[in-house]
Amino acid sequence: MLAACASDPPEAALRAQLRDMQLAASERRVGDFMQGVSDDFAGNNATDRAALHNLLRSQMLGKSSVNVASGPLEIQLRGKTATVKFSVVLTGGSGRWLPDSAQSYSISSGWRLEDGEWKVYYADWRPNL
């Protein structure tokens, strides 16, 4: 995963981190995706970092292809922390022309600088109905 330079403006570095994580997910590189997740991550239904890792692995194992498309990012910077809200559409399939599954989510996430890199420490994802 390519990390943004420490000299990049905070919003550009955060956008680069999100782009790298999206690419890692699309390429089924769970370990690279998890590099952007803080050790003390907390998510829906008491999802911690290990549970998120297992969730991603199980989703990747069940699909031959995974596509991630995100909408515009709404970023609010506050020093060394940020809130990022966006929508994402996840599709996956078994190699046929049309996806076997597709789901749209609204995501609200908390980020902070850790050793010069942006890491997500909180995420709430809700299916769009």
What domains, with CATH codes, occur in the chain? 10-127 (3.10.450.50)
pTM metric for this prediction = 0.84
Question: CB count, 10 Å around CB of 84?
Answer: 22
Q: How far apart are CA 61 and CA 40, in angstroms?
A: 25
Among left, alpha and beta (phi > 0; psi -120 to 50; other), residue 64 is alpha
129: DSSP letter: -
**Separation CA 87–CA 104 (nearest Å):** 7
pLDDT block averages, 10 residues each, the chain of length 129: 58 96 91 97 95 88 77 95 94 61 90 97 92
The encoded tokens of residue 90 equal 């996840």
